[in-house]
Structure 1
Amino acid sequence: MAEWTWVAYTVAEVLIAVACCFGNALVVCAVCVGIRDSLREPTFCFLVSLAVADFLVGVAAVPLAVVLDGWVSLTPDLCLLLSCVVLVLTQASVLSLLAIAIDRYLRLHTPLRYKSLATQKRTWLAVSVCWVLSCLLGFTPLFGWHNYSPLTSNNTSSSSSSFILPPCTFLSVISLPFMVYFNFLGCVMAPLLVMTLLYIRIFWSLQGRLKDSCPQAQASLLRERRLACSLALVLILFAGCWIPLHLMNCLLLFQGPHAVTQGTLYTGILLSHANSAVNPVVYAYRIPKIQQAYSQLWRRFLGGINCCHENKQIRASNTGS
């Protein structure tokens, strides 16, 4: 790849990483600080989980994608471990989205039992289960499904004191069959299909209830539909940003390394990372409670600036007098 193309790719990754960190940190602050008792609502707990995963994409996944592209030489075991971090964060996003869809489905179809089912303790237990499963699924290559032989690498390194470590790249240690059959079809597409069916069922039910309900109940159902539309949009953006990269992996597996150009592959990587930066924008424009929380944080920030400015003026006047 041309040098200018690599520079453009790196600059784009840096901008995406900054946007991921700032936007998702703002979401966590808005939900935890700006919305009173928001963490008592399961949906917002799962949104915080998703925002944390997106924040970690900016902190860890994007820098690793840039560095672990043949620019550093690491032992195969360490290279594999760092490459699995990206898989863990992707899986955490998928499972958080799945938890949100299940929560909205239960809220709509079991309204009488919902409060007893979705307690705060069970909600945080579900968040913990999502992250534990993400680690188990994301670190699966560490248990043997990878691209190198540990015995061979150990023998080679021990037989020669001047052994040079190979450049670390994602596909040098992560198996393409693993990425296609296990990660894409099993860990991404299967949950996406379940979520799609759940949202279809949610919208179908809401549409029927809106027709049969009284005007007093329609306002609540309309709010529910608006929130469901916003969360479904987050799901659609996730699928649109991640599926192209997975389809490229399918082409690489079935048609060989020349099926996808390096520039196209980097475009897919950028698109997948950009998804983590887009989500906070969707929350800001589509979810009223988060809009209000953003406004409260902004007012507090401006109030703090004004207070500091007034204190400086007071000190200056005292010094002058």
Structure 2
Amino acid sequence: MEEVELCFPQLNTSCWKTKRPLSHTVLIYMVLSFISLLTVTLNLLVIISISHFKQLHTPTNLLLLALAVSDFFVGFDMLFQIMLINGCWLLGDLLCTLYLVYDYIFPSTSIGIMVLISIDRYVAICDPLHYSTKVTQGRVQVCVSLCWIISLLYVCIVFKDDMKPPGRYISCVGECGGTLSIFHQFSDFIILFLIPISVIIVLYMRVFVVAVSQARAMRSHIAAVSLERSVKVTVKKSEIKAAGTLGVVIVVFLICICPYFCVTVKGRDTYVSTSSASFVLCLYDSNSCLNPLIYALFYPWFRKCIRLIFTLQILRPGSCETHML
């Protein structure tokens, strides 16, 4: 008869450990640890770059900075996800509740800031003449602050029952889970998934249409003034690149968050309790690792910032005045 492994062998009320081959466990730990380290590192580079260099202090980059801050903390959150892979929580009920709140607030804030970024790009492309008056650093700071406040208030509402007292819904010692009512599961799907996704897709499709129209108009102008064929090809490639970038933004975001909300909308009673749920949450959080790659890595100034940081030139006096654009 196979022996049952418990999180706390000395307790009859202990949860069971998830049993898997040692090689699989080591591989999972290594992959998740690497993703966590990469998430923290990339977002820290974005934070340092935008905060240090004055030329990067623009409304758009302020949104990237806010996104990097929330994604930076998501990277640390994944360390706790690693602990839950085997189905055991060893840090007690209070820290479990704090972890659930932590795990909820930063990803939801990242989603809100991504919506703000899509709005910023929509105004920049579709209404460029009024962009400087409509999108200012002051307004961006207010919007980002509201995003954080709304996320915090929403999390407090969702987990108000789990906080009094912590662990009241735990079925066995070593479990870390809370409960989401049907109403909260539905509101999660609407507020954190359906509405942001709809806004992002609609705005990006509008940006794409306008960008393609402008590129075609430019190509027509080039043809009218009889420039070389090679210039026409370059314009056409820019259209393809724009389409690919927008497609990556939407598809990667959907791939990362769809599994979590598919689980939520099916009516799971436990927020985090099994290794499969932990995997879904890790995939959900991994979007924070990809955000700096998608939103910042393709900017030339970011690559230049990385070079200055790793060569320690950022420590030189007056380095904040370096020309980055």
TM-score by length of 2: 0.72
Which runs of no fewer than 5 residues in structure 2 stay unpaired?
1-17, 226-231, 317-325
Match of 1:71 in 2: 89
Q: Distance in 2 between matches of 1:290 and 1:227?
A: 19
Structure 1 residue 302: Cα displacement: 10
Is 1:265 the counterpart of 2:282 in the alignment? no
Higher mean alpha-carbon deviation, 14-23 vs 191-200, is at 14-23
Offset, 1:166: 4.1
CA distance in 1, matches of 2:34, 2:181: 29
Deviation at 1:201, TM superposition (A): 0.8
Task: Report what 1:15 is aligned to.
Answer: 34
Q: Which residue of 2 aligns with 1:212?
A: 217
Matched, 1:183 2:195: no
Residue aligned with 2:139, SS: helix
Q: Cα RMSD over matched residues?
A: 3.8
Residues 185-240 of structure 1: per-residue CA shift (max 9 Å, x gap): 32222111111001111111121222224459x999x9899678646633432221
2:299 to 284, 287, 292: 287
The equivalent residue for 1:136 is 153
Tell me if the contact between 1:57 and 1:273 (Cα under 8 Å) persists in the aligned partners: yes
How many angstroms apart in 2 are the aligned matches of 1:225 and 1:124? 33
Q: Give the aligned partner of residue 197 of structure 2.
A: 192
Structure 1 contact 16–274 (Cα < 8 Å) conserved: yes
Spell out, residue by residue over 1:130-167, the C-alpha distance to the aligned partner (whole angstroms, 9 max, x if none). 111121223322334x5x975995xxxxxxxxxx9943
Deviation at 1:281? 3.2
* Aligned equivalent of 1:26: 45
Q: Aligned with 2:74: secondary structure? A: helix
After superposition, the C-alpha distances for 1:101-149 in whole angstroms (9 at most, x for unaligned) are: 01111122222221112111111111111111121223322334x5x97
Identity %: 22
Q: Does structure 1 residue 297 correspond to structure 2 residue 309?
A: yes
Structure 1 distance, partners of 2:183, 2:83, is 22
Give the match's secondary structure for 2:89. Answer: strand
Deviation at 1:89, TM superposition (A): 0.8
Stretches of structure 1 that go unaligned for 5 or more consecutive residues are 154-163, 305-321
**2:259 touches 2:280 (CA, 8 Å); kept in 1?**
yes
The answer to whether 1:107 aligns with 2:107 is no
Displacement of 1:266 in angstroms is 3.8
**1:161 — aligned with what?**
none
SS of the aligned residue for 1:212 comes to helix
CA–CA separation in structure 1 for the residues paired with 2:210 and 2:95: 49
Structure 2 CA distance for partners of 1:94 and 1:128, relative to 1, 3 Å: same
Are residue 51 (structure 1) and residue 56 (structure 2) matched? no
TM-score of the superposed pair, with normalisation by structure 1 = 0.72
Give me the whole-angstrom Cα distance separating, in 1, the residues matched to 2:288 and 2:166: 38
Contact kept? 2:204, 2:246, Cα under 8 Å = no
Does the 8 Å contact 2:208/2:242 carry over to 1?
no
